[in-house]
Amino acid sequence: MKVTEYIQNADKTLFSFEILPPLKGQSLSNLLEGIAPLMEFKPPFIDVTYHREEYVYKKHANGLLEKVSTRKRPGTVGICAAIMNRFKVDAVPHLLCGGFSREETENALIDLYFIGVENVLALRGDAPKTDANFVPHNDGHRYASGLVEQIIGMNKGRYLHDETEVGFQTDFCVGVAGYPEKHFEAPSMNYDLKKLKAKVDAGATYVVTQMFFDNRKYFAFVEKVREMGIDIPIIPGLKPITTLSQIVNLPRIFFLDLPDDLLTALEKCKSNADVKEVGIAWAIQQSKELVAYGVPTLHYYTMSRADATYRVAKEVF
């Protein structure tokens, strides 16, 4: 089923989560066993991230450096198939603009549709760590709205090199990202909302937000989105803080704020174990307030570690 159909048919807030593919050379079974406890809360769908290439510099005997492309987390398509087979839930793969041509995107979509995937999350993606700015593939999409247009085009039977006027029609439900605290590259919140509106106008049918820790920012975001005339579901993304390093790294990497009350509690922590307890308690509080608000789904960023999310869900669902 489509994500939007699950939401329409539900009489309460749903539970979903996102996982990372294992690093190249690591076992898929460890990932599947790790998330198995979360099946207790009956997620209708699970997101699987996709990772663009990264670059490393290989030094040769003559002293010259060679820039070598590598993808450290392959396997999104295979993981989607494994999840659907093992847990009988829908998998939602992420698709990226960055690092991919339109033809590579089309081929990936064909493979996904053939294995029974009906939902995708269309994202621009970030620049490689070695690049200062995002640069699209020469034959790729600069913005997620273009990626959405390509997916919707395939739903209408349009292919890049198809000689027929209408080819086989896919039937993907397309989600996109939203940013309650503004995308870090956007010059203003209104500009960012216009970009979101362009993705919706291109055919996106639901939004999943970047993680946030202050529900007031989500509520304000939803209000602004509705004022733009966007009436599709806005799914909040949540993550329990579990380590001391995340107190610094999450705001730096994801360009978000931590509320003063949360920071005050975290600053009293002496260990990762202390932080984890505070982070779980905060996520439970956040989740319960969002359920009372009537959100369609609570979507958790697990980083493929289920224990903290399990403890939150146990108190909420």
Question: Which residues, in sequence order, are CB contacts of 9 under 8 Å at separation 6+?
Answer: none
Gap between the Cα atoms of 120 and 148, Å rounded: 10
Return the SS3 of 225. helix
Asked if 175 and 122 touch (Cβ cutoff 8 Å), the reply is yes
Residue that has been written with the tokens 């307890």 in this structure: 277
Answer yes or no: 185 catalytic.
no
Q: Which long-range contacts (CB under 8 A, 24 or more apart) does 215-222 make?
A: 215/286, 215/289, 215/290, 215/293, 217/180, 217/181, 217/257, 218/180, 218/290, 219/293, 220/180, 221/178, 221/179, 221/180
DSSP class per residue in 58-106:
EEPTTS-EEEEEE-SS--HHHHHHHHHHHH--EEEEEEESTT--HHHHH
Q: Pick the catalytic residue: 18, 118, 149, 181?
A: 18
Q: Give the integer Cα–Cα distance in Å for 68 and 80.
A: 28
- Report residue 12 as tokens: 């309460």
In angstroms, how far apart are the furthest CA atoms of the chain?
A: 66
User: What residues have CB less than 8 Å from 178, skipping those under 6 apart?
Assistant: 196, 207, 208, 209, 210, 221, 225, 234
Beta partners for residue 58, in sequence order = 66
Catalytically active residues are 18
